[in-house]
Chain A
């Protein structure tokens, strides 16, 4: 009975600290401290620092600041103009026309950036004004952008997948590879939505674009070459096993710096701004990871994860039902928290659960990213909605409404992942042998 009482206090403190706006990393530390004091006689402070120091100085984590930095550099270059100019000639022939630049632009930028807000801003600052000028309906511009930007978290590199990999101690390279195919399928789903709009609402189509010669199309496409090379070097080097995730990130930073200096958009100011921006973001994530490391230590002592995993075992839930329940759980959690925090907060409990249910952890990482992405575009807390609000000055409710079809498509993606798990697991299993 006292055990139950202690568990109750522990959970109460958890909700109290997180709910009352204490910074997530520090709140997790506070909760973990309470857990240690309640459930074990071990000295909490010393155990805390030992755990945190081991995690904070680990080699795996070094991929994080470098990928953040790479994204920061590209964010400050003229890449968004280049993406639009290079992609537009290819998209104008498709049914739905230039709206597809939103999807293709996000997919390409996602392959060099690990954040969905950066993807959204980079692609949106060019595509929103252009598409408005061409007369595409506002709800299609905003909706497709809100949805497609979430690819930033799915297609490698992905900060969420790094955080997930560090939290459960799995290979980041494998997780990255697992994200490639589902990311492309999701992009395909978004494009299908644009096709459907094109045929179902013919009266909303803008005037057809003037014809463009093949030669002109090719010359415009040259703008895509640098970014395609960067994508190939970063993802390719991991796939073929030439480099670890961290090394690929280092190559990415150097490549991004080269690309920026070729464009002549690399000034001392942008360099310093990218460096300091990356420092802030990685410090933020590091603090959360430290809190999470201490919390998962404390969780082990509370016995909660074991009890829950055991409970799930006795219920004999099929993995499909478990996944359905978890989907709902993360969507609700996503109403109050950002994606990173919900991953680190829950993994200590969810990891034993999925392992005992026999669910592949790599697959689960991709599933988690899709669900978290969905939560990013649903109110009241959805970072992509906030970013879009800042860019377009529309009401959150309007933006959320335009994104509803995307939410449906992302939930469809969860179903697809459940039906064809190979989509996520095939690539990492067939990685080149020398890949680490």
Chain B
């Protein structure tokens, strides 16, 4: 399988890396016209990042609930099969969904010595850092999706004892299928429990990494247009 197969006549890397770069350069050149055009998009994107941050927070509460359930189950000698795997999946969802939100709130850390020399370096080092970070995050997202799709195609199953009812799989698959396939999809549902297919917990990875890449390109464009990125002051641990 070619990782960068052509899409609409151009290799995939053009769409993933070159096109956003052209957009960013274009936005920098036509700064004044771009700003009013982009401002409503920025507001919506901010809301999307925060919404996924809230979703991540929900998954963090799910970790807590799973672990409490696991302890209660142990004390009362009830088996809670696959609790550690489920907690792990929730952990992955917590991290991946929150990446863009954390970035937009300045939670991710970096070495800021060069950045803090003067206003000139603050702008240009930041542009460079955002650009490189965008490329890396886009690469990350591209392979996260590839791995996720492969897991689905190869029908990879968990190596633990965790099981999910098959209607959950059907419900999630519904979102990714054309309505014409829904009948067939739900026709196969029997209500049985099956070992978790790996693609299900990997979905947050695909979604979260794509969102992180978008957030980085987004902030790069904001920086070249308005002179400052939306990334708030760096927080401390």
The residues in A between 199 and 223 inclusive whose CB is less than 8 angstroms from any CB of B are: none
- How far is A62 from B60 in the complex, measured between Cα atoms in Å? 9
The answer to whether A247 and B112 touch across the interface, beta carbons within 8 angstroms, is: no
Contact partner, A380, options B96, B113, B140, B205, Cβ 8 Å: B113
Interface string of A62-99 (1 = CB under 8 A from B): 10011001000000000000000000000000000000
- Residues in chain B near residue A386, CB distance under 8 A: 236
Segment from A140-148, A278-286, A307-315, A409-417 that makes contact with B: A278-286
Instruction: Decide: B91 and A56 in contact? CB cutoff 8 A.
Output: yes
Q: With A49-B143, A61-B88, A275-B61 given, is the CB distance from A383 to B237 under 8 Å?
A: yes
Is A49 in contact with B60, judged by CB distance below 8 angstroms? Answer: no
* Cβ–Cβ contact B102 & A283, under 8 A: yes
B28 proximal to A (CB < 8 A): no
User: Can you name the residue of chain B whose Cβ is closest to the Cβ of A118?
Assistant: B237
Tell me, in angstroms, the Cα distance from A65 to B114 when the chains sit together.
Answer: 31
Q: A19-40 toward B: CB 8 Å interface, digit per residue (1/0)?
A: 1111111110110010000000
- Are B237 and A280 closer than 8 Å at their CB atoms? no
Nearest A residue (CB) for B54? A276
B44 at the interface (CB under 8 A from A): no
List CB contacts (< 8 Å) of A274-315 with chain B: 275-276, 278-288, 290
A21-B111, A53-B202 given as contacts; is B53 within 8 A of A65 (CB)? Answer: no
How would you classify the secondary structure of chain A's contact residues: helix, strand, loop or mixed? helix
CB distance from B211 to the nearest CB of A (A): 11
Please, how many angstroms separate the alpha-carbon atoms of A92 and B110 in the complex?
42
A434 within 8 A of B: no
Binds B, one of A168-176, A185-193, A337-345, A349-357: A337-345
Chain B positions within 8 Å of A276 at CB level: 53-54, 57
Q: Which of B56, B125, B237 is A283 in contact with, Cβ under 8 Å? A: B56
Contact B133 A59 (CB under 8 A): no
> Do A283 and B111 form a contact, CB below 8 Å, given A22-B129, A275-B57?
no
User: Could you mark each residue 95-131 of chain A with 1 if its beta carbon is under 8 Å from any beta carbon of chain B, else 0?
Assistant: 0000000000000000000011100000000000000
Asked if B47 lies at the interface with its beta carbon under 8 angstroms from chain A, I say no
Is A254 engaged at the interface, CB distance under 8 Å to the other chain?
A: yes
Cβ–Cβ < 8 Å partners of A117 in chain B:
236-237
Q: Do A59 and B88 touch across chains, with their CB atoms under 8 A apart?
A: yes
Q: Once bound together, how far apart are the Cα atoms of A18 and B132, in whole Å?
A: 11
B88 touching A57, Cβ below 8 Å: yes
The residues of A that contact B182 with a CB separation of less than 8 Å are: none
**Does A318 lie at the interface of the complex (its beta carbon under 8 Å from any beta carbon of B)?**
no
User: Which residue of chain A is the closest to B69 with respect to CB atoms?
Assistant: A250
| B5 within 8 A of partner (CB) | no
The answer, yes or no, to whether B108 is at the interface (CB within 8 Å) is yes
A180 interfacial by beta-carbon distance below 8 Å: no
Q: Answer yes or no: A231 CB below 8 A from chain B CBs.
A: no
**Tier of interface size on chain B:** 35 or more
Q: Does A150 contact B (CB under 8 A)?
A: no
Known contacts A66-B67, A253-B64, A381-B113, A23 near B108 by CB under 8 Å: yes
Within 8 A of A (CB), among B43-74: 53-54, 56-57, 60-61, 63-64, 67-68, 70-71
| B111 in contact with A280 (CB, 8 Å) | no
Q: Inside 8 A of A281's CB, which chain B residues have their CB?
A: 107, 235, 237
B101 on the interface (CB 8 Å rule)? yes
On whether the beta carbons of A49 and B144 are closer than 8 Å, the reply is yes
**Nearest Cβ on chain A to B103's Cβ, whole angstroms:** 8
Given that A33-B139, A279-B98 are contacting pairs, would A21 and B107 also be in contact in the complex, using a CB cutoff of 8 Å? no
Which of A126-140 touch B at CB < 8 Å? Answer: none
A45 near B146 with CB under 8 A, answer yes
Please state if B236 and A49 are interface contacts (CB–CB under 8 Å).
Answer: no
Contact with A along B128-164 (1 / 0, CB 8 A): 1100110111011011101100000000000000000
Neighbour of B63 across the interface among A43, A65, A254, CB < 8 A: A65
| Closest chain A residue to B126, Cβ basis | A21
Cβ of A21: which chain B residues have Cβ within 8 Å of it?
Answer: 110-112, 114-115, 125-126, 128-129
A253 / chain B contacts, CB cutoff of 8 Å: 64
In the assembled complex, the CB of B166 is this many whole angstroms from the nearest CB of chain A, namely 21
A29 contacts B56, C-beta separation under 8 Å: no
Smallest CB separation, B94 vs chain A (Å): 6
In the complex, whether B84 has a CB less than 8 A from a CB of chain A is: yes
A283–B94 touching, CB < 8 Å:
yes
Q: Given contacts A45-B3, A253-B64, is CB(A243)–CB(B110) below 8 Å?
A: no
- Assembly CA distance A393 to B9 (angstroms): 59
B91, B99, B107, B114: the one contacting A20 at CB < 8 Å is B114
Q: Is the CB of B53 within 8 A of A159?
A: no
Contact A53 B53, beta carbon cutoff 8 Å: no
Most buried by B among A22, A278, A341: A22
Within 8 A of B (CB), among A380-409: 380-381, 383, 386-387
Q: Does A50 contact B (CB under 8 A)?
A: yes
Residue of A nearest to B121 (CB): A21
State whether B71 touches A247 (Cβ < 8 A): yes
Identity of the chain A residue whose Cβ is nearest the Cβ of B105 in the assembled complex: A280
B109 within 8 A of A: yes
19 A-B residue pairs with Cβ-Cβ distance under 8 Å, sorted by A, are A17-B132, A20-B128, A21-B110, A43-B3, A45-B3, A46-B147, A57-B88, A57-B91, A59-B84, A62-B91, A275-B57, A279-B60, A280-B53, A280-B101, A280-B102, A283-B99, A286-B94, A381-B111, A387-B236
Listed in ascending order, the chain B residues whose CB lies under 8 Å from chain A are 3, 53-54, 56-57, 60-61, 63-64, 67-68, 70-71, 84-85, 87-92, 94-96, 98-99, 101-103, 105, 107-115, 125-126, 128-129, 132-133, 135-137, 139-140, 142-144, 146-147, 201-202, 205, 235-237
Besides the known contacts A21-B125, A279-B101, A284-B102, 4 further A-B residue pairs in the complex with CB atoms under 8 A apart: A22-B136, A23-B129, A26-B133, A45-B142
3 cross-chain pairs, A with B, having the tightest CB-CB distances, nearest first: A286-B95, A283-B98, A45-B143
| A residues lining the B interface (CB < 8 Å) | 17-27, 29-30, 33, 43, 45-46, 48-50, 53, 56-59, 61-62, 65-66, 69, 115-117, 159, 243, 246-247, 249-251, 253-254, 275-276, 278-288, 290, 336-341, 380-381, 383, 386-387
